[in-house]
Amino acid sequence: MFPSDPHMLVSAINMMLRDGEYENLEDLCACFDRDPEELKSTLLAHGYTFDGQQFK
């Protein structure tokens, strides 16, 4: 389950992608049964943008 606090959410996503647990945001979201676009919208609503290129 993803954290509901937006700052903790960003931290959790960064950690899981940075540490190589998941190949990309789509894989991470599939594992947690979440829509990647919904997650990006949630982040954007709190001033965060997702740049998948940073994890390659």
In three state form, how does the secondary structure of 4-50 look?
Answer: CCHHHHHHHHHHHHHCCCCCCHHHHHHHCCCCHHHHHHHHHHCCCCC
Is residue 54 predicted with pLDDT exceeding 80?
A: no
Q: Where are the domains of the chain?
A: 6-51
End-to-end CA distance of the chain: 24
Q: What is the pLDDT of residues 24-41, one digit of tens each?
A: 999 999 999 999 999 999
Question: Which is higher by pLDDT, 23 or 56?
Answer: 23
